[in-house]
Amino acid sequence: MKQLFLSITLFIFIVTSSTAQEEKKSFTNENPHEVLILKKNSHFKKRPKNVILLIGDGMGVAQVFSAVTANRGVLNMTQMPFTGFSQTQSADRYITDSAAGGTALSSGQRTFNGALAVDTDTLSIPTILEISKSKGYATGLVSSSSITHATPASFIAHQPSRGMEEEIAADFIGSDIDIFIGGGRKFFVKRKDGRNLLNELENDKYLVFNSLDDASNINSGKLAILTAENHNEAYPERGEMLPEATEKAINVLKNNKKGFFLMVEGSMIDWGGHDNNTAYVVQETLDFDRAIGKALEFASSNKETLVVITADHETGGMTLNGGDIDKGEVSGRYTTGGHTAVMVPVFAYGAGADKFTGVYKNTDIFKKIKEAFGF
Ligand code: MG
Ligand code: ZN
């Protein structure tokens, strides 16, 4: 009798926990977003004045197609006419982390996992953001996580370890970056060395804000917009922060006559992948696609802009084993709670976009951007 009771309890436990697991694996999108109608990309041979690089952290082909399915068959990014694949390996690992993955994209060199814009001997290597700045271009960084997190940090900081977030924040000082928007305020003010980096930024003529709303009337000058103490919340709690921040950065940067370089990161596609959570992955990828929509809207009318979308690596070993495009319903399966080694997609639109077709290493994306700019 006791044994029967135990097996019934066990059976109920298995059924309820597998239902919970099942819920985490499936998602139905009730609110598909409108995608923009892209103008024809006949100007691809031109030299871009502006480059907008958008990185979906952890966004492999399954993540993209989960969002295509959830959005009823259309996305902004899948309308981009030039496509390729990037091989994401780092200097020391078959499977990269976001720091080494970011460094390959930002600096054109493979380094060891955890490292930010330093080579395998921990010597600083110049990033595309810094090279652009040195040539008189305006520069910006936008992230849905903390602005000191690995992906944005790999464009502006030079540190041997991604965990050194106070040192990373200090690397913003003197960089002369024109605008940065993301979380991470605590790394600028609650520091072991007692420095208040927000005061230092103000002394360096930055306007510092705690939200996009507070900065809504300002579209010129140098802006630091720190929207959270650490990371921003996940979507939907975060609201339209990422698309709005992308639009904001473009509005500020476009004032520079020479041109600009902007990197925008959809950080939490990766976190949904680590959590093997399809709803999380899909909602973050859709949010990232709305940010892409803002970049493409600008590039569609401004014929001197290149927009490149890619990822640093895939997360979760995600695949799709069920779905319905008409209903926006998608079901995912995962092979790991970590990253994987598979190639990730690259989408390009605008001036210089034809350079991005083919299969190449992550480091080639840096080289192609540099070549497109004519640096
Ligand atoms: Mg990241
Ligand atoms: Zn990750």
Nearest ligand, CA 151: 1
**Per-residue model confidence as pLDDT tens digits over 215-251:** 999 999 999 999 999 999 999 999 999 999 999 999 9
Nearest ligand, CA 182: 1
How many whole angstroms from 294 Cα to the centroid of ligand 1?
A: 20
Phi, psi (rounded to 5 degrees) for 123: -90, 140
Nearest ligand, CA 275: 2
CB neighbours of residue 254 within 10 Å: 18
Parse the chain into domains and list their residue ranges.
52-362
**Residues with a known catalytic role:** 98
Residue labelled with tokens 């480091």: 363
How many whole angstroms from 375 Cα to the centroid of ligand 2?
A: 31
How many whole angstroms from 299 Cα to the centroid of ligand 1?
A: 24
CA atoms within 13 A on the CB side of 304: 9
Nearest ligand, CA 314: 2
Q: Is 212 left (phi over 0), alpha (psi -120 to 50) or beta?
A: alpha
How many whole angstroms from 368 Cα to the centroid of ligand 1?
A: 22
Edge-to-edge strand list for the sheet holding 26-28: 26-28, 329-333, 319-324
The closest of 36, 44, 58 to 282, measured between CA atoms, is 58
42 in helix, strand or coil?
A: coil
Mean pLDDT, consecutive 10-residue stretches, the chain (375 aa), reads: 57 57 87 95 96 98 98 98 98 98 98 98 98 98 98 98 98 98 98 98 98 97 98 97 98 98 98 98 98 98 97 98 98 98 98 98 98 97
Q: Which residues 6+ apart lie within 8 Å of 284 measured at CB?
A: 144, 234, 235, 266, 268, 269, 271, 272
Ion ligand 1: residues, Cβ under 5 Å: 57, 98, 151, 267
pTM of the model: 0.95
Q: Is domain 52-362 in CATH 3.40.720.10, yes or no?
A: yes
Q: Which residues 6+ apart lie within 8 Å of 314 measured at CB?
A: 58, 59, 60, 61, 62, 63, 88, 273, 339, 340, 342, 344
Report yes or no: 322 and 26 within 8 Å, Cβ to Cβ. yes
pLDDT at 24: 85
d(CA 344, CA 342): 6
How many whole angstroms from 263 Cα to the centroid of ligand 2?
A: 18
How many whole angstroms from 311 Cα to the centroid of ligand 1?
A: 9
pLDDT at 216: 97
* Residue 375 vs residues 130, 158, 310, 362: alpha-carbon distances, Å: 12, 21, 21, 19
**Per-residue model confidence as pLDDT tens digits over 6-23:** 565 555 555 555 666 667
CB neighbours of residue 236 within 10 Å: 10
pLDDT at 23: 72
CB neighbours of residue 217 within 10 Å: 6
How many whole angstroms from 152 Cα to the centroid of ligand 2?
A: 14
